Structure 1
């Protein structure tokens, strides 16, 4: 006798026994979990990742100004070390004068600038001299006889078309008593009362005389220096006087306690005295 094929009634009964008597709509099994999935997705996209203590320095610091977050203006630094040091004697180079620990002066000044956390530290250097410095951050002083204005002018040519130079803190290598305390007075800061006010340059005066080799230069002053240099000007204080007159820079007398910061090394006797006193 031929075996009968199971009919519809058989499959319905079997389906009831095994729990698949009907096909659920697509996604029905996920319905109870969709709320949790949406919550998980939202938490991943809106909550910041946990901050590792080892990454604390990689996060920008924000200052709230009039209810809005703002960051202080970025600045870079330029260390002037390309002069000939003629008054130091034949073959002498101020940048390589050493302190009591044997550290070359230019590296000592770099450490000082690093403590201020600029975005970049450039070195205005003499051609043919080996420096412990990233090659991409060295500006060769093609005209060392033209004074510091030549190095400052060269800085204005480091920008690519369309880029804007950041404010630049300029420091001479032969100011071994310079302190971070004084340099911090030059670093640009946002004003709580006028957060949109553009940053101006700043230079100290010592007994009424401008001290341009530890000063803050904004882009407008750097481009002014470039224009005047190409016109034949070689005195940097002439550029700063014009910048002050145009409102691009302001000056103030150096605090009495910080006057020694501007003692520079000019002669071998100066160098010997500093080496004897330096730690």
Structure 2
């Protein structure tokens, strides 16, 4: 299915689906500055073959969904929790997308900031979430999941000004935060960066999303109240969201934890079968 747009929660969300509409829906939520195509096409096709109706979408302020306005001060976001919008607003976007697609309940998987959104969605609307898979994410506690110094500096670098600068920045970033235990897939990453830039890059929106992450309260109490099938997947070598964030998430959810050796803050092609098998198992979907 080609990309489509829908009005949801007062904004426009661009989305795409894969698989049989009769299969159980799986909502994929991507992370900071990352459009839906960072859930690779082949990965989504494989999930559909595993028995899911896969839904991926651009969060607000990225890709072809609505770009908002409003300035953000990252120190104020962190210290005063003052931002144009919150992780909760992003979770409400996801709920509204499900409403617009006529989906009452869905399995939900989120990566990085997308994991935070998925967690908040489950906390706010546990009646809408069949199972939760949180990938390379954290609870919002400021004592776990901390980045390395180099990774933090890279995330705070000024936005690129040209297409070539964006492509170079993407490759340099994933050399830093990617998976040291797996081959660096230069061709795949460059192609993804080209598609991302051509769909629209929004540096001001990235700052607003980052403000939402920095201002988020600790979700641990809310996660502890949940009673649903849950899986946490985290790389053992993640420099951007330390593995302690994944461990804390799994403890709070009383869920399964899969620490993937050699994986950093990305999803190398080599780990896709492991991730897809985990999502399928926790969702109880077999084909």
Q: Same fold (TM over 0.5)?
A: no
TM-score normalised over the length of structure 2? 0.28
Structure scoring higher RCO (CA < 8 A, sep ≥ 6) equals: 2
TM-score (norm 1): 0.28
Larger radius of gyration: 1
More helix by share: 2
